[in-house]
């Protein structure tokens, strides 16, 4: 999955990037703009497919934040209702107090959406879908998760309960397997529950299913409960959204289309950008410019000089220059990337790129 996603994501970077550039043309006709919007929607769907591939392999890059599980579920209520249709009654039974967890907000919504869609499909004639939150204390290694046991601790619990046809006992052990589906050909990819399982696992959580044919099914998700957010996180977000100082950035990637997209995006914001096709060319450029760069944005997998060698040279010879990595491969594919090193997963949306660059420069420049 990681190898497929790498090549796919590099090409998506080009398609989505050039589509965004064209969208900025004010002289674009109405018909052409509609066609362009369809291209942008298609690239978003393709990016979503790679995220699903990486999710069930537990290799996608998550952007966790401290959030209230109750609020996240409530905020998605209108979207969920549209997904499940009017013949299904949706009931929210949420705790009145916040349930703080560390999770990627978009991916958490993806979990709830996929489980809701699964419940909808189990109730073709209508019924009731209940989303219920609770605090779950695990004192021992409880044999309840899909991986066998649950680690002791305090968890925020989300139960998704339907009154549908149920899951046959023979299918229960396979329900989270990629491409396993009980639906007819053409009605499902078999990625929905595998994606849920991958996201929950990457979020250090657990999920299991209980079902009785002709009675209904309950999916239970546990996420570790954490302390609530503090003011420092709000300050960090404010710094990231503030206009960044104009700086010199070295973009390093062996894919011409990726370099072009990133350079044009950064230059449109006023940054001075220099491009390099390899790690060795980047070192030569740094030497020629006497290290007068504020940030190096480099691909991880390139021919010649390895990313680790480039990182070591930068740290030794140009310690004041910030470094951020990017790749079409998931971060977990690289053993030597430390937890604190900035990493961008391709395809990189323009707003994400600019936000990360601003934040890095804000911490490195006066």
Binned at pLDDT 50, 70 and 90, residue 147 comes out as low
**1 against 158, higher pLDDT:** 158
Rounded to an integer, the average pLDDT of 192-208 is 89
Find where tokens 């919007």 sit.
37
> Distances from the Cα of 346 to the Cαs of 13, 204, 261, 329, in angstroms?
7, 23, 12, 8
Which of 167, 141, 139 is CA-nearest to residue 153?
Answer: 139
Decide if 325 contacts 341 (C-beta within 8 A). Answer: yes
- Asked which of 177-186, 265-274, 326-335 is least confident by mean pLDDT, the reply is 177-186
What length is written for the chain?
366
User: Which pair of structure tokens corresponds to residue 117?
Assistant: 């869609």
Confidence of residue 363 (pLDDT cuts 50, 70, 90): confident
Are 336 and 312 a contacting pair, CB within 8 Å? no
Here the tokens at position 235 are 């300050």
CA end-to-end span of the chain: 42
Q: What is the mean pLDDT of the chain?
A: 83
Q: b/e per residue, 9-33, with b = 16+ CB within 10 A?
A: bbbbbbbbbebbeeeeeeeeeeeee
DSSP symbols for 295-326:
EEEEESS-SSS-HHHHHHHHHHH-TTSEEEEE
223 strand-pairing partners: 156
The model's pTM: 0.55
Q: Give the tens place of pLDDT for each residue, 73-87.
A: 998 888 888 889 899
- DSSP code of 225? B
Give the three-state DSSP class for 279: helix
| Separation between Cα atoms, residue 353 and residue 358, nearest integer Å | 9
Determine which helix (DSSP H) or strand (DSSP E) holds 122, and give its type and residue range.
Answer: helix 105-122
Q: Could you say which DSSP state residue 94 is in?
A: -
């Amino acid at each position: 999955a990681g190898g497929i996603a790498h090549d796919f994501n590099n090409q998506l970077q080009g398609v989505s990037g050039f589509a965004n550039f064209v969208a900025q043309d004010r002289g674009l006709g109405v018909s052409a703009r509609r066609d362009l919007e369809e291209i942008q929607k298609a690239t978003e769907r393709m990016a979503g497919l790679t995220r699903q591939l990486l999710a069930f392999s537990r290799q996608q890059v998550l952007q966790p934040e401290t959030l209230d599980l109750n609020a996240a579920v409530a905020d998605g209520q209108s979207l969920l209702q549209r997904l499940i249709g009017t013949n299904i009654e949706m009931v929210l039974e949420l705790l009145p107090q916040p349930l703080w967890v560390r999770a990627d907000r978009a991916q958490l919504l993806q979990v709830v959406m996929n489980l809701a869609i699964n419940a909808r499909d189990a109730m073709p004639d209508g019924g009731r879908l209940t989303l219920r939150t609770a605090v779950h204390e695990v004192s021992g290694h409880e044999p309840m998760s899909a991986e066998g046991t649950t680690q002791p601790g305090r968890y925020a619990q989300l139960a998704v309960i339907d009154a549908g046809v149920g899951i046959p006992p023979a299918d229960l052990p396979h329900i989270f397997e990629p491409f396993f589906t009980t639906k007819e050909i053409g009605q499902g990819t078999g990625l929905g529950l595998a994606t849920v399982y991958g996201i929950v696992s990457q979020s250090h959580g657990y999920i299991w299913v209980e079902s009785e044919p002709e009675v209904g099914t309950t999916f239970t998700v546990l996420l570790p409960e954490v302390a609530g957010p503090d003011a420092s996180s709000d300050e960090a977000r404010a710094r990231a959204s503030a206009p960044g100082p104009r700086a010199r950035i070295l973009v390093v990637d062996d894919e011409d289309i990726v370099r072009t997209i990133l350079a044009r995006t950064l230059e449109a914001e006023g940054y001075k950008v220099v491009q390099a096709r390899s790690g060795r060319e980047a070192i030569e450029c740094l030497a020629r410019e006497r290290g007068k760069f504020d940030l190096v944005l480099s691909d991880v997998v390139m021919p010649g000089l390895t990313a680790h060698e480039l990182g070591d040279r930068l740290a030794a010879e140009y310690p004041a220059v910030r470094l951020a990595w990017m790749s079409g491969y998931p971060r977990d594919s690289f053993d030597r990337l430390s937890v604190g090193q900035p990493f961008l997963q391709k395809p990189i949306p323009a707003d994400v790129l600019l936000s990360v660059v601003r934040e890095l420069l804000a911490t490195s420049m006066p």
